[in-house]
Amino acid sequence: MSNASEKSQGAGLVPAEKLIFEQTTPGACAVSLPVADVPPADLRKVIPQELLAEAPPPLPEIGEQDLVRHYTRLAHRLFSVDGNFYPLGSCTMKYNPKVNERVAALPGFTGLHPLQPEADSQGILELLYQLRYFLAEIAGLAEATLQPCAGAHGEMTGVMIINAYHRSRGEDRPKVLTPDTAHGTNPATCTVCGRFAISVASRPDGRVDLDDLRKKVDEQTAALMITNPNTAGLFDPQIADIAEILHAKGALLYLDGANMNAILGIARPGDFGVDVMHYNTHKTFSTPHGCGGPGAGPVAVREGLQEFLPGPQVVRREDGTYGWAWPGPRSIGRVRSFYGQIGVLIRAYAYIRALGPEGLRQVSEKAVLSANYLAARLREHYRFPFAPPYAHEFIMVPEFREHGVTELDVAKRLIDFAIHPPTMSWPVAHCLMIEPTETESLRTLDGFAETMIRIAEEARTTPEILHHAPHTMPVERLDEVTAARKPDLCWRESTEPAEAADNT
């Protein structure tokens, strides 16, 4: 690896890229707009003086080719599923089929106004109605809402439904239990929904500690939010017992469906005791992550809870037409404007239609196979805190502390081999959480295994290479402490240009 001081940001395929504001040329514009075809309104007459701006804000001005070059260069400074193996645990970074992008971009979908008449929207309504049914069937639950915008928004919708259910029975249950391995959104959701999150311990084998659960469930408990398979990649075989313990106290079982990629067509949450769950379409159904969204977080509920779903709900009327209707007076209400992340839901629909029942089952079979294969290949080189078999992801711990090498060093070193780092340090201290997904070839899986073995070797023999990794990116490790202490979140004219401080 080359020495840091030999490189500057200006090299080769990934040249340095100034901020768009530093490339502004007064008078330039990437867009041509038509000349006015109506008489101009008399601004001073139609808008009160005190509301009129003196001048438009100083947006950048740039021509079309330079604009294209700017964003193309930024795109090249970015790892992605299309360019890189991306075994980011819990995020299900599987291949995003190109055909789904094509169909979601059809003008017959993108050019629809949400308030246009239902009669003009029968195609999209039919699609949404079908998807609503597909998601209920895959969950083994009675009905699904497509409204929530992402996983965390689905959690919020789900906990609100649970609150509404308890209230309808004249109860106010302030507590929600979350296993200590829960994703951060679970406890955060509890607070946003006016509940208290209470942590439940895991056993050394990574499963829920039933004794601790029994101790903590009472008549004040609204629900347990569980992830199964859990965030350590382990299916909890006690799931039916867990459901029973909760139900005996009148509490409900909520499933964080982030890990549905492990059980599609194999086990259904509704069949193992779950009352309410959310999906992440951007994980399980391969809608792309888009640098952090948009996703979608549909929520499915058991028979008896439908009346609490948010509205409006897509329905099929007696005459065979589709439309929108309110679930009833006990609905929790709206969780967003209009109906949902429609463009994302179209991709989820296309994915499910393309694969069919057998194809979905194979998704989970091959996702689980790939994870267990990687675990088998790495078992001698890293510590595995939990015994196999694993679900669609697994956890391992790099044990190189005596060489001063942390999980962060190992993860960052992977970048030099064009592999995106796994999830780190959660849900077990110092771990790496690896999720290969079903779409990778054996060649890629083997390449990853060999790279991880090589890095383990490096950790023992040349640890300094790891400390400063990555060495091949346009930037090296960042000063995140100063970033947080003296936040610079917005460019200002006075911000010094990049070159001035380029002390390479």
Partner 1 sequence: MQYTQLTDADVRHMLDTIGVRDIGELFRDIPPSARLDRPLCLPAPLTEMELLADLNRLAGNNTSVDDAVCFLGGGMYDHFIPTVVDALASQSEFVTAYTPYQAEASQGALQAFYEYQTLICMLTGMEVSNASLYEGATAAAEAVLMARAITGRRGVVVSSAVHPHTREVLATYLKELPIDIVVVETLDGRIRPEGLRQAVNDQTAAVLIQTPNVFGCLESLDQFSAIAHGAGAIVIASVDPISCVLLKRPGDLGADIVVGDAQPLGIPMSYGGPSCGFMACREQFMRKMPGRLVGATRDRAGRRAFCLTLQTREQHIRRERATSNICTNQGLLALRVAIYLSAMGRRGLAQVASMCLDKAHYAAQKLSDLSGFELRFQAPFFKEFVVRTTKGVDRVLAHCRSRGIQAGVPLAPWYEDLADSFLVAVTEKRTRAEIDAWAKALSEV
Ligand X SMILES: Cc1ncc(COP(=O)(O)O)c(C=O)c1O
Q: Which stretch, 13-21, 150-158, 159-167, 351-359, contacts ligand X (CB under 6 A)?
A: 150-158
Q: Which H/E stretch holds residue 210? A: helix 210-216
User: How many chain residues are in contact with ligand X, going by CB under 6 A?
Assistant: 14
Assess 321 for contact with partner 1 (CB under 8 A): no
Q: Which of 74, 383, 457, 462 binds partner 1 (CB under 8 A)?
A: 74
The Cα–Cα gap between 363 and 317 comes to 34
Helix (H, G, I), strand (E, B) or coil at 439: coil
Q: Which stretch, 245-253, 299-307, 457-465, 477-485, contacts partner 1 (CB under 8 A)?
A: 477-485
Question: Closest Cα partner for 29 from 58, 59, 56, 63?
Answer: 63
Shortest distance, position 456 Cβ to partner 1, whole Å: 18
Binders of ligand X in range 261-280 (CB under 6 A): 280
| Residue count of the chain | 504
Q: Which stretch, 20-28, 97-105, 113-121, 144-152, contacts ligand X (CB under 6 A)?
A: 144-152
Contact predicate 164/332, CB 8 Å = yes
Shortest distance, position 320 Cβ to ligand X, whole Å: 34
Q: Which is nearer to ligand X, 92 or 306 (CB)?
A: 92
Residue 278 touches which of partner 1, ligand X, none (Cβ within 5-8 Å per kind): none
The Cα–Cα gap between 400 and 381 comes to 11
Q: Is the dihedral of CA 270, 272, 275, 279 positive or negative?
A: negative
Contact mark string toward partner 1, 8..47, x via CB under 8 A: xx-------x-xxx--x--xxxxx-x--xxxxxx-x--xx
User: How many chain residues are in contact with partner 1, going by CB under 8 A?
Assistant: 217
C-alpha 155, offset from chain centre: 13
The Cα–Cα gap between 186 and 447 comes to 35
Assess 281 for contact with ligand X (CB under 6 A): no
Joined together, the tokens standing for residue 158 give 């789900």
Assess 225 for contact with partner 1 (CB under 8 A): no
Assess 432 for contact with ligand X (CB under 6 A): no
Q: Which is nearer to ligand X, 144 or 459 (CB)?
A: 144
Joined together, the tokens standing for residue 494 give 């006075």
Assess 344 for contact with ligand X (CB under 6 A): no
**What separation in angstroms does the CA of 222 have from each of 218, 252, 342, 370?**
9, 6, 31, 37
Question: Closest Cα partner for 186 from 291, 275, 257, 286?
Answer: 257
Q: Which is nearer to ligand X, 270 or 297 (CB)?
A: 297
Enumerate binding residues for ligand X (CB under 6 A): 90-91, 150-152, 183, 185, 227, 231, 256, 258, 280, 295, 297
